[in-house]
Structure 1
Amino acid sequence: MASLAVADADRKIEVRDGDLERVSDDEISAAGTGKADILQLEHTDPVLNAKMHLVNNAIDEIGFTKYQWKLFVLNGFGYAVDSLILLIQSIIAGQAALEFNPSFARGLTIAVYVGMLVGALFWGLTADIIGRKFAFNVSLMICSIFAIVAGSSPNWVVLGLFVCLSAFGGGGNLVLDTAVFLEYLPSKDQWLLTLMAAWWGIGQLIAGLFAWAFIPNYSCSDPTIIPDAAPCSYDNNKGWRYVWFASGALVFVMSILRITVIRLKETPKFLIGEGKDEECVQTLQDIAKEYGRPCSLTIEDMRACGEINTERRGSISHAKSKFSLGEIGVHLRGLYATRRIGISTTLIWFSWTLIGLAYPLYNVFLPSYLASRGATFGQTSVYITWRNYALVNLCGIFGPILAGYMCATRLGRKYTMVVGALVTMAFFFAYTQVRSEAQNLAFNCTINFCLNIYYGTLYAYTPEVLPSAHRGTGNGIAIAWNRVMGIMSAVVATFADTNTPVPIYICAALYIVMAGIAAVFPFEPYGKRSS
């Protein structure tokens, strides 16, 4: 068998093709930075693994620069947009239904999740086939255009269509944002991937502020509450349209900033899987040069590792034809390349499935909970309801901030998720005993804070433990399962009724299961580097 030498400033590691499992963690982590790669003993291609290790060393050598800060903000836009579009449809659904009198009032929830489901799969697969750059530049633009158009919808069906198309554009961002940011991050800063989920809370807050600004002041009254109210029409019910116009315009500005503030280079780890070693090295050298940082990686170092065996490429990175069903099969097999990777992939997808039901049962239908509970305690003001909604969403920003700190301690990612899920579960059960309006607001704020500890960490953990060559596909399918259950949440909410505590009990039970799954994840990224 051919011998493979991994060149490093400190030493060389001998890896024999096909026998990577014989190389210990200590041997590889002794080279360069002293940190092991998460999947270094799981890879089925020792050449690809060795090159990935060199690139990780180079990224660590360059360190954190303004380039990563730009990515933190611009990729954070994608997080914010995902939550913004998801919550906007729930905010405006009630007022739009008063105007259009639909036969199925939960239709917009299904529409937004269908769009996000297709978007997650489409953008996730294309990320592994043609790269991360295209989706990064295009997805937000698509989202913004249809969000603006949604505000002009003449009927319920057309509104649902535009909501779906807007969600299709925004739905791929969570797949790409984490992958792109992670693949440029130095290992010591990977905890920032969890912190980036704070942008999710910012999107929620923006949705709440738009609702607070427009819904109370530019909406017709519900005749079931005010019997002598005038019929809802286009003229007296423009508040929900203003929410869409404002949201779409904001997303459009974000999409322009993505293109102008940073000219995204294709990620080095994607280029390795493509066999484009020279482009990979040049990308890293360019970043180092621009920000005055050292980068000792050379094309000779990469070549010393050998070439990815083209006869085996169909089992590693790509099928013979990229644009074929075989290509999808390659990426699916890559997510089950070894027993541990397969278990990890399955548990991650299951976790996303569970949170996909629990999250919308609470957050998407939060306006219903606030209104029904408020009415119980004598609070019927629409203005107060939407003010409280904005305050609850504000609290969601700080959950990922605490999670980012916890992830950087010995708790690691796994036990940060365990703690977040169990605390959230406790407050869900306690919420059913709320007896005053002040308690109603306080518990909702606390729940939104705690559940974002778990959710924000899961967002970061998922791409960290997926193989780089198949990261987009694995992340896309995970989020797709999440969206499928979002569709199911509309059915559950219809029969369980969000005006009762039943959905809250369901959420609490789901978080217990999620805590148990997090505890048995086979990989812990703390102190290691993504592969």
Structure 2
Amino acid sequence: MFIFRYFVFNMQESPKYLIAKGRDEEAVAVLHHVARVNKVALTLTADDLRKAVVAELGPQAVDSGQGKSNWQAVKEGLTTFDLSHVKPLFSTTRLAVNTSLVIWIWGCLGLAYPLYNGFVTLYLTNAGAAFGDTSLNTTYRNYAIFSIMGIPGSLIACLLVEWRSSWAVGGRKFAMAISTLLSGLFLFLFTTAKTEAAILGWNCATSLVENAMYGVLYAYTPEVFPGPHRGTGDGLASCFNRVCGLMAPIIKIYAGANNASAPIFVSASLFVVASISMLLLPIETAGKAAM
């Protein structure tokens, strides 16, 4: 991933960050790079940028980011904290329902995902005892196999998102709901496996559809929030996702103390709940301009 990050994708620094640090020339260079990648002509210069800022905010705005330390940036952010970017996410009934459901879905998945992926190696070790093979080599060999099998899931998600004309029956919501439902179904079937081959097969299937689910969900989530408040919406969903994830070890301790399958059952149930919630989302983003 390090090689891909620096030598294949050539990811650029955020122009917003560079401008906040007073590095206008570097920010403009990033924008020119983005323009070249998208085959768009761009004539913007650093002087043009400064002139636009002065015209909009006044001369003092040009120097406001010069030499600003990280602590100063954090301090300014805290002193200007308000709910101006939260309220618009709930400005209409339709948007409020959609925002609440998106946050709820991320919370369900935030708990379901670590319950399965975080403790599956323990389950595999216990399951291996039934076949006389409890070695770490076998456990992590199987874990590596179904992790690799998840890679095509990301490609499937890409097809579901980009080839929307072929999936007009439901768009993003349909693709998310089906892949999430299959994730829960395969997890339930996984706990019924009686052979090592069956365990490996159900895990591979689960990993495939899970990656497809997340691929579409990551595309849908930013699209469904209004542009100026998209970062706030994403942040709320991510925060709830992480908070719910903290509960996974607690459930494992109390629900799975004497039953290695318990965390898997809970995870599968949460995937099903998330799938139903996805079908209830009132906003579809496939084939539509961003909000």
Structure 2 residue ranges without an equivalent (≥5): 58-74
> C-alpha distance in 2, partners of 1:288/1:393?
32
> C-alpha distance in 1, partners of 2:79/2:38?
44
1:264 maps onto 2:13 in alignment: yes
1:453 maps onto 2:212 in alignment: yes
Shift of the 454–385 alpha-carbon distance from structure 1 to 2, 3 Å rule, reads same
- Aligned counterpart, 1:431: 190
1:361 maps onto 2:115 in alignment: yes
- Aligned counterpart, 1:116: none
Q: How far 1:500 sits from its partner (Å)?
A: 2.3
1:402-449 Cα distance to aligned partner (Å, 9 max, x none)? 122122322421100111112122212212211111111111111111
Shift of the 442–529 alpha-carbon distance from structure 1 to 2, 3 Å rule, reads same
Amino acid paired to 2:174:
Y
Q: How far 1:296 sits from its partner (Å)?
A: 8.7
Shift of the 284–385 alpha-carbon distance from structure 1 to 2, 3 Å rule, reads closer
> C-alpha distance in 1, partners of 2:232/2:214?
20
Q: Secondary structure at the match of 2:146?
A: helix
* Superposition pairs of residues 32-431 of structure 1, within 5 angstroms: 257=6, 261-266=10-15, 286-287=32-33, 290=36, 293-295=39-41, 323-324=77-78, 326-408=80-162, 409=164, 410=168, 411-431=170-190
The structure 1 residue matched to 2:230, chosen from 454, 462, 471, is 471
Amino acid paired to 2:206:
I
> C-alpha distance in 1, partners of 2:247/2:186?
24
> C-alpha distance in 1, partners of 2:287/2:41?
22
- Normalising by structure 1, what TM-score? 0.43
> C-alpha distance in 2, partners of 1:520/1:345?
12
Q: How far 1:456 sits from its partner (Å)?
A: 2.2
Shift of the 364–328 alpha-carbon distance from structure 1 to 2, 3 Å rule, reads farther
1:333-356 Cα distance to aligned partner (Å, 9 max, x none)? 232233322222111100011001
Shift of the 336–387 alpha-carbon distance from structure 1 to 2, 3 Å rule, reads same
1:112-155 Cα distance to aligned partner (Å, 9 max, x none)? xxxxxxxxxxxxxxxxxxxxxxxxxxxxxxxxxxxxxxxxxxxx
CA contact (8 A) 2:15 2:30 kept: no
Q: Secondary structure at the match of 1:323?
A: helix
Q: How far 1:284 sits from its partner (Å)?
A: 9.4
Q: Secondary structure at the match of 2:284?
A: coil
Shift of the 254–436 alpha-carbon distance from structure 1 to 2, 3 Å rule, reads same
Shift of the 454–288 alpha-carbon distance from structure 1 to 2, 3 Å rule, reads closer
Shift of the 262–436 alpha-carbon distance from structure 1 to 2, 3 Å rule, reads closer
Shift of the 289–385 alpha-carbon distance from structure 1 to 2, 3 Å rule, reads closer
> C-alpha distance in 2, partners of 1:292/1:430?
45
Amino acid paired to 2:223:
E
- Aligned counterpart, 1:522: 282
- Normalising by structure 2, what TM-score? 0.75
RMSD of the TM alignment (CA)? 3.5
> C-alpha distance in 1, partners of 2:4/2:204?
28
Structure 1 residue ranges without an equivalent (≥5): 1-76, 78-249, 309-320
Amino acid paired to 1:367:
T
Q: How far 1:362 sits from its partner (Å)?
A: 0.2
